[in-house]
Amino acid sequence: MQDVTLTVNGKTETRRVEGRTLLVQFLREHLGLTGTHVGCDTSQCGACTVILGGRAVKSCTILASAAAARGEVLTIEGLGDEEALSPMQEAFHRHHALQCGFCTPGMVMAAHNMVQRHEGELTEAIVRRELEGNLCRCTGYHNIVKAVLAAAEAHRAVASAPAGQD
């Protein structure tokens, strides 16, 4: 057992865990943040995607101990909530980009990170390519791609607005 300290959604948390504890277990079982899902546990589906040190990663394939050296963690709970959805959550809602919703936390985190890394400069081809690590069994992806492109466009509009305006 060892103490692992991680900053998750802006809050620094320490827990005593086993060496083999995965980042996703640390989040779900030790911090109670069950928004991050486990779809496969074989590194394929992306339902467990969180942002670690500014990059989307599969939290089922990183040890919590190793994550501690790689920067802060952002999970779906840190993006927004029912009262105040984040722009990406809002876009998923508006474009009906989910059905059962199981893949959605991972999709939203991957998409949020994609928009940030590309500063909103996305095309359909880039979105489809960068969502290769996120599987959805329901939607056929079409509306997910629409939602990500809409959020990217909103991101560009905000970025190019003169200072002081919203």
Partner 1 sequence: MYAFDYHRARSLEEALKLFATLDEATFLAGGHTLLPTMKNRLAAPENLIDISALPELSGIGMQGGVLRIGAAMTHHAVAASSLVAETIPALAALAGSIGDVQVRHVGTMGGSVANNDPAADYPAAVLSLGAEIETDRRRIPADDFFQGLYATALEEGELIVAIRFPVPETAGYGKYRNPASRYALAASFVSIRDGAVRVAVTGAGKNGVFRWEAAEQALMGHCSASRIADLRPESDALLSDMHADAAFRANLVNVVTRRAAEHLGGASIV
Binding site for partner 1 (CB under 8 A): 2, 18-20, 22, 41-44, 46, 49, 55-58, 61-63, 65-66, 69, 110, 114, 130, 132-134
Smallest distance, ligand FES to C-beta of residue 121, A: 26
Smallest distance, partner 1 to C-beta of residue 52, A: 8
State the Cα–Cα distance between residues 73 and 27, nearest whole angstrom.
10
Smallest distance, partner 1 to C-beta of residue 82, A: 27
| Contact characters 70-99, ligand FES, x per CB under 6 A | ----------------------------xx
Whole-number Cα distances in Å, 78 to 11, 42, 109, 150: 10, 25, 10, 21
State the Cα–Cα distance between residues 91 and 108, nearest whole angstrom.
10
| Contact characters 96-135, ligand FES, x per CB under 6 A | --xxxxxxx-------------------------------
Tell me how long the chain is.
Answer: 166
Contacts to ligand FAD by CB under 6 A: 43-44
Strand order through the sheet with 73-74: 11-17, 2-8, 73-74, 49-52, 55-58
Whole-number Cα distances in Å, 20 to 1, 26, 73, 125, 137: 9, 10, 19, 37, 30
65 binds, among ligand FAD, partner 1, ligand FES, none (CB under 5 to 8 A by kind): partner 1
**Which chain residues interact with ligand FES by CB under 6 A?**
38-41, 43-48, 58, 60, 98-104, 136-139
